[in-house]
Amino acid sequence: MRNCIVAQSGGPTAVINSSVIGVFYENLKVKYYDNVYSGLNGIEGILKGDIINLSELEYDKIDTLKYTPASALGSCRYKIDDYKENDEDYNNLFKILNSLEIQTFFYVGGNDSMDTVSKLSTYAQKCGIDINFIGIPKTIDNDLCLTDHTPGYGSAAKFIATTALETYLDSSVYTNNGIFILETMGRDTGWLAASAALAIIDDRMIADFIYLPEVAFDIDNFLSDVKERFIANNQVYIVVSEGIKDKNGNFISETKIANNHDNFGHNQLGGVGNVLKELIINAGITNRVKTLELGVMQRCAMHCASLTDLEEAHTVGRSAVSFSISGATGKMVGIKRVNETPYLYDTELVDVKQVANKIKYVPTDWINTEGNHVNEKAINYIRPLIQGIPNLDTKNGLPKYVMVEKDLVS
Amino acid sequence: MRNCIVAQSGGPTAVINSSVIGVFYENLKVKYYDNVYSGLNGIEGILKGDIINLSELEYDKIDTLKYTPASALGSCRYKIDDYKENDEDYNNLFKILNSLEIQTFFYVGGNDSMDTVSKLSTYAQKCGIDINFIGIPKTIDNDLCLTDHTPGYGSAAKFIATTALETYLDSSVYTNNGIFILETMGRDTGWLAASAALAIIDDRMIADFIYLPEVAFDIDNFLSDVKERFIANNQVYIVVSEGIKDKNGNFISETKIANNHDNFGHNQLGGVGNVLKELIINAGITNRVKTLELGVMQRCAMHCASLTDLEEAHTVGRSAVSFSISGATGKMVGIKRVNETPYLYDTELVDVKQVANKIKYVPTDWINTEGNHVNEKAINYIRPLIQGIPNLDTKNGLPKYVMVEKDLVS
């Protein structure tokens, strides 16, 4: 018996299941592993023995899973200790993996999950345990090193750009339109906010300003930019990443602002969009300020996914199986952009240690000199990743999604 | 010369432009009016002389406009006085309409716009002015009387149900999932919130509770329902209409709640979703509560529109022109459901006075006896309205939308 196991970790994306199904389908083709097991809720579930056998699911469910958003196998945010400090998890985990005759462990996730892959592969090699560990990249944040981009990002970028187009039109209908603030995720990096630069109508970019965590946010500059644009156009469209910080590294979302314009006098609750709104109102620019926090929608909107992203997520899963056959371990499947126009990519193995716990930022020369927008380099990089529309099955007029029954292996 | 004019009013929808293009296309076919003029920003713009000639736009722009969300001609929230109190607007308006040789004025909007149609048609008839006024229904709120439903509602309902599916999956991935609250629009009625009942996965409705303004909201019942469900399932999915009220008619969104769980001790800002969140946390049910306020997205998400809705919006515009030829005035084009399965509809003229300033509520017998969900009657009514996916043109991977140049007629 030679089996493998796949599990998902960290925040879900629209296309994360496509990677798991990629592992399953590639193995169907090459018939290398006898069973493809799956751990529920990542390593946390595996440690509890919550494991199912994907090979026992019905095929039409498997096929619909490819088009179902969010981690169908469940997820976790579980960080294992360094084995030198505490090897309890290691002992338990390898006992379980051995009992299931696991040859390869595939872990779909972001920086933290790659840290887990790194630790487990190091431990196995050190102890002479013949189990391999391969990371499959996934995060809407697009902040993993050694890969051109991460599966999940293209679909989130597409949803953000589409919503920017639509809310810009919605916020342009009155004679007195005011200011609209779109808040995206992105605690450390501005990849998601930058994707709003793709929103173009009649050859004009609709976002007046895009603020990224990569640039120290200056309140005075912000207010003077917004005031000038508002006086000129009677309308301003602002995109902001939740993670923008001041020059001392403090999150702007945590700024305490006295509320001049209501009777409560309390501090502001809510995200950075609301902080910017208060700043604008308090500066007397206008009271007509609307904010929209996209929240979890940007990571699960399969109905607006990028076909390119969905297929790349699938491909990294398939490649992981191919690469595993030669016995690779301590690696992550990276995406390499091999041609700009037409856009072409390939997959390659990269060292997971160089990915774990590191962050890839939006390059400085992709941001304008004023630090309040991105330039053509960013657009040319992002645009190929949002192309195409997946052909979703529908049921009663809505996308057909499925959930996985939790029939645990004994 | 025999001309007509069309204008949009009130909150935009994803499909409102489809109605305007319906007016234009039907006239192309029947060649009844020499010019189709359009007032920018509704009656407010017409009074300022902000008028364009749709017949002078390029055809491919006209065609793309049909698939562009939000009022491309601009909108307003302008209520004209009763002419007995102040007839200044009337004098100005009829001077402008006469100078443009307008035979028929088409007004696309909701309750307030129908009030305008009613007042203007009454005034014209009283003064013997030969200009006709016809209302074309539009509102995501679906609260107009004498029409089975309103164009705009089906697309909003589809976006809400789709987002409910996706955010339910997203909020189900951890072992410790908590409570998710989806807040929809609907100040007076629960039509939008009710549409989340269409969100079904593996034959199971994902919304545990749906709260509508039609039912007096009782905090104690709410907390006991949520607590019971959370203990049973470790997860609760709640949909709430922004307009829910207590038994005295006070909006729950305005409830002042002491914040037990932070150090500020201030009152809660934000929508009703956040109020429910505070109630749940203060009751000690769980701290893991997420809210999502859909905001303007639900009224402009053309990328997730209903083809049925888009085509019905077009049809009511076309019908308005057909009906106008016989000289109808003081009427609105209503939608009549003529068959349940398969769903078939027709248009008819209804008396705009019976629509203006009235509200159509979700029927009591479509709501369950506990007042915290809707039943099959609601689902059977809404489901036909969300069917089909419009085939949007794309540009650079995103929906192709256009804006109208404001080339005013002299």
The residue of chain A nearest to residue B74, with distances taken between CA atoms, is: A173
Q: What does each C-alpha distance from A68 to A54, A62, A356, B94, B203 come to in angstroms?
A: 16, 10, 27, 56, 15
Domain co-membership, B67 together with B81: yes
Q: Is B337 annotated as a binding residue?
A: no
From CA A54, how far away is CA A21, in angstroms rounded? Answer: 9
Q: Which of A257, A283, A274, A281 is nearest to B264 (CA)?
A: A257
Pick from A41, A69, A399: CB nearest B175: A41
- How far is B120 from chain A, CA to nearest CA, in Å? 22
Model pLDDT, residue B240: 98
Beta carbons within 8 Å of A203's beta carbon, 6+ residues apart: none
Q: DSSP character for A319?
A: H
Query: CATH no. for residue B291?
Result: 3.40.50.460
Domain co-membership, B67 together with B127: yes
The residue of chain A nearest to residue B379, with distances taken between CA atoms, is: A396
Is the residue at B408 inside a domain?
A: no
Number of domains in chain B: 2
Q: Is B250 annotated as a binding residue?
A: no
Q: Which residues of B touch A172 (CB under 8 A)?
A: 70, 403
Phi, psi of B300, rounded to the nearest 5 degrees: -135, 5
Which residues sit opposite B107 in a β-bridge? Answer: B7, B135
Model pLDDT, residue B256: 76
Is the residue at B382 inside a domain?
A: no
Q: How confident is the model at residue A95 (pLDDT cuts 50, 70, 90)?
A: very high
Q: Which residues of A touch B108 (CB under 8 A)?
A: none
Q: How confident is the model at residue A82 (pLDDT cuts 50, 70, 90)?
A: very high
Mean pLDDT of A25-42: 97
Domain co-membership, A206 together with A238: yes
Contact A161 B267 (CB under 8 A): no
Residue B88: how many CB atoms within 10 A of its CB?
11
Q: Which of B90, B85, B89, B80 is nearest to B125 (CA)?
A: B90
Model pLDDT, residue A318: 98
Pick from A41, A303, A306: CB nearest B162: A303
> H helices within A128-271, ranges in order?
153-170, 191-194, 219-233
Contact B202 A264 (CB under 8 A): no
Q: Which residues of B touch A269 (CB under 8 A)?
A: 266, 268-270, 274
- How far is B239 from chain A, CA to nearest CA, in Å? 15
From CA B27, how far away is CA A3, in angstroms rounded? Answer: 68
Is the residue at A116 inside a domain?
A: yes
Residues A7, A74 contacting (CB under 8 angstroms): no
Residue at which a domain ends, from B249, B273, B299: B299
Domain co-membership, B195 together with B292: yes
The residue with tokens 């007076």 is: B188
From CA B169, how far away is CA B172, in angstroms rounded? Answer: 5
From CA A173, how far away is CA B398, in angstroms rounded? Answer: 21
Q: Which of A51, A66, A57 is nearest to A20 (CA)?
A: A66
The residue with tokens 């006075």 is: B353
Domain co-membership, A248 together with A216: yes
- How far is B182 from chain A, CA to nearest CA, in Å? 11
Domain co-membership, A233 together with A260: yes
Residues B191, B238 contacting (CB under 8 angstroms): no
Residues A316, A348 contacting (CB under 8 angstroms): no
Domain co-membership, A124 together with A38: yes
Contact B267 A269 (CB under 8 A): no
Domain co-membership, B159 together with B292: yes
Is the residue at A385 inside a domain?
A: no
Domain co-membership, B39 together with B131: yes
Q: How confident is the model at residue A270 (pLDDT cuts 50, 70, 90)?
A: low
- How far is A72 from chain B, CA to nearest CA, in Å? 7
Q: Which residues of B touch A303 (CB under 8 A)?
A: 162, 166, 303-304
Q: What does each C-alpha distance from B310 to A211, B18, B58, B315 come to in angstroms?
A: 35, 6, 21, 9
Which residues sit opposite A236 in a β-bridge? Answer: A179
From CA B351, how far away is CA B334, in angstroms rounded? Answer: 9
Pick from A166, A401, A402: CB nearest B300: A166
Q: Could you confirm whether B34 is annotated as catalytic? A: no
pLDDT over 70 for what percent of chain A?
A: 96
Pick from B45, B165, B395: CB nearest A399: B165
Is the residue at B363 inside a domain?
A: no
Contact B74 A174 (CB under 8 A): yes
Which residues sit opposite B251 in a β-bridge? Answer: B245
Characterise B57 by phi-psi region: left (phi > 0), alpha (psi -120 to 50), beta (else): beta
Contact A41 B199 (CB under 8 A): no
Q: How confident is the model at residue A263 (pLDDT cuts 50, 70, 90)?
A: very low
Q: Which residues of A touch B18 (CB under 8 A)?
A: none
Residue at which a domain ends, from B272, B299, B326: B299
Q: How far from each other are the two terminal CA atoms of chain B, in whole angstroms?
A: 17
Which residues sit opposite B137 in a β-bridge? Answer: B109
For A19-32, the pLDDT digits (tens) are 999 999 999 999 99
Q: Which residues of A touch B295 (CB under 8 A)?
A: 290, 292
The residue with tokens 């380099």 is: A377
Domain co-membership, A119 together with A38: yes
Catalytic residue, candidates B50, B141, B143, B309 = B141
Q: How confident is the model at residue A265 (pLDDT cuts 50, 70, 90)?
A: very low
Mean pLDDT of A236-260: 89
Is the residue at B83 inside a domain?
A: yes
Pick from A166, A266, A297: CB nearest B163: A297
Contact B166 A292 (CB under 8 A): no
Domain co-membership, B352 together with B309: yes
Interface test with B, best of A50, A158, A175 (most B CBs within 10 A): A175
Residue at which a domain ends, from B265, B299, B333: B299
The residue with tokens 């000289």 is: B327
> H helices within A133-218, ranges in order?
153-170, 191-194
> H helices within A326-409, ranges in order?
376-382
Characterise B36 by phi-psi region: left (phi > 0), alpha (psi -120 to 50), beta (else): beta
B51-53 and B102-109: which strand pairing?
unpaired
Interior angle at CA B398, CA B394 and CA B401, nearest 5: 70
Model pLDDT, residue A75: 96
Is the residue at B381 inside a domain?
A: no
Q: DSSP character for B361?
A: P
For A129-161, the pLDDT digits (tens) are 999 999 999 999 999 999 999 999 999 999 999
Domain co-membership, B236 together with B311: no
Interface test with A, best of B278, B281, B294, B296 (most A CBs within 10 A): B296
Which portions of chain B are predicted below pLDDT 70? Answer: 258-270, 410
The residue with tokens 């004098």 is: B91
Is the residue at B378 inside a domain?
A: no
Complex-level ipTM: 0.96
Q: Is B140 annotated as a binding residue?
A: yes
Model pLDDT, residue B405: 84
From CA B346, how far away is CA B336, in angstroms rounded? Answer: 5
Q: Which of B388, B382, B404 is nearest to B311 (CA)?
A: B388
Q: Which residues of A touch B174 (CB under 8 A)?
A: 41, 74-77
Query: CATH no. for residue B73?
Result: 3.40.50.450
Count how many residues are written for chain A.
410
Contact B267 A264 (CB under 8 A): yes
Domain assignment of residue B222, given as a range: 154-299
